[in-house]
Structure 1
Amino acid sequence: MGGCICKPQTAAPWPDLPPEIAGRIFSCLPSHDDRLSFAAVSSRWRIAARLQNLLPPPVPCINLDHGRYQRLVDGEVRRFPAAKSYCAGTSFGGWLFYYHKGSGRCFLRAPVSGDPIELPTRPLPQSPDYVYTDIAFYDGKVFVLSRWEELFCHELFTVGGINHSLIPIVCHDMEAQPAMTTNSYLVVSSDKQKLLMVRWRRRANQPAIDMRVFEADFGKARWLELKDLGDQLLFLGRSGSMAFAATHTEYWGPRFRGGNRVFVLGTEWARSVEQAVYTKRDIPGYCIYDMISGKTSLVSLGRPRRTKSCTSGWFFPTSENLYHFKFR
Structure 2
Amino acid sequence: ASCSPARTANRPRSRRDLSGLMEADKKPRSQPRSPWSDLPLDIGGVVFSRLPRYADRAAFALVCPQWRDAARRQVLTLPLPLPVLALPDGTFYSIFYPKLYSFPGCGFAGYESVCDSWLVFPRDDGCFLVNPFSRASFMLPALSSVRLLPPNAVAKWSLEDGSQVADPYITWMHINTSEKLHISKLLLCSPNLVAALVGIGHTSQILMCQPGASSWSVRAYDQCKGFEDMAFYQGKLYTIANDENLLVVNISQDHSTGDPQVSRIGQIIKGEPWYPAVFEDDTMCCKKLYLVESHGVLLMARRTIMCRVPGPGAVPIEVAGLTGFEVYKADFEHSRWVKVSTVGDDQLLFLGRRCSRAMSVSQYGLPGDYILFLDDDEENRMDYCYDRENTSFGAYKLGSDGVLFPHPYISWKLCDEMRLAAWLFPRDP
2: CA distance, partners of 1:197 / 1:207: 22
- Asked if 2 retains the 8 angstrom alpha-carbon contact of 1:89 and 1:99, the reply is yes
- Asked if 2 retains the 8 angstrom alpha-carbon contact of 1:145 and 1:151, the reply is yes
- Please identify the structure whose Cα radius of gyration is greater: 2
Counterparts of 1:270-289 in structure 2, within 5 Å, are 276-278=385-387, 281-284=389-392, 286-289=393-396
1: CA distance, partners of 2:108 / 2:389: 34
Select which of 109, 123, 131 maps to 1:110.
Answer: 131
Question: In the alignment, what sits opposite 1:3?
Answer: none
Question: In the alignment, what sits opposite 2:332?
Answer: 218
1: CA distance, partners of 2:137 / 2:361: 32
- Asked if 1 retains the 8 angstrom alpha-carbon contact of 2:322 and 2:402, the reply is yes
Q: Percent identity?
A: 27
2: CA distance, partners of 1:95 / 1:183: 24
- Asked if 2 retains the 8 angstrom alpha-carbon contact of 1:67 and 1:81, the reply is no
Between structures 1 and 2, the one with greater strand share? 2
Shift of 1:17: 2.7
- Larger RCO of the pair (alpha carbons < 8 Å, separation 6+): 1
> In the alignment, residue 317 of structure 1 is paired with which amino acid?
P
- Asked if 2 retains the 8 angstrom alpha-carbon contact of 1:201 and 1:272, the reply is no
Question: In the alignment, what sits opposite 2:292?
Answer: 187
Select which of 99, 114, 125 maps to 1:76.
Answer: 99
- Asked if 1 retains the 8 angstrom alpha-carbon contact of 2:286 and 2:306, the reply is no
Structure 2's unaligned 5+ residue stretches are 1-7, 10-33, 147-206, 208-217, 277-284, 308-318
Shift of 1:68: 3.2
Query: Given the two structures, how large is their TM-score scaled by the length of structure 2?
Result: 0.61
**Superimposed CA distance per residue, residues 15-49 of structure 1 (whole angstroms, 9 cap, x where no aligned partner):** 54332222222111121122111111112211221
Question: In the alignment, what sits opposite 1:134?
Answer: 229
Task: Provide the aligned C-alpha RMSD in A.
Answer: 3.1
1: CA distance, partners of 2:109 / 2:88: 13
Shift of 1:208: 3.0
Select which of 109, 115, 126 maps to 1:92.
Answer: 115
Question: In the alignment, what sits opposite 2:200?
Answer: none
2: CA distance, partners of 1:30 / 1:84: 25
Shift of 1:138: 0.6
- Asked if 2 retains the 8 angstrom alpha-carbon contact of 1:202 and 1:273, the reply is no
2: CA distance, partners of 1:300 / 1:316: 19
| Structure 1, 14-23 or 236-245: larger mean CA deviation | 14-23
- Asked if 2 retains the 8 angstrom alpha-carbon contact of 1:181 and 1:273, the reply is no
2: CA distance, partners of 1:80 / 1:61: 13
Question: In the alignment, what sits opposite 1:119?
Answer: 140
2: CA distance, partners of 1:275 / 1:133: 16
Query: Given the two structures, how large is their TM-score scaled by the length of structure 1?
Result: 0.78
> In the alignment, residue 40 of structure 1 is paired with which amino acid?
L
Shift of 1:80: 4.2
1:261 lines up with 2:370 in the alignment: yes
1:239 lines up with 2:359 in the alignment: no
Select which of 274, 296, 299 maps to 1:177.
Answer: 274
Question: In the alignment, what sits opposite 1:4?
Answer: none
2: CA distance, partners of 1:63 / 1:85: 10
Select which of 39, 42, 54 maps to 1:32.
Answer: 54
2: CA distance, partners of 1:236 / 1:169: 23
Select which of 55, 79, 91 maps to 1:56.
Answer: 79
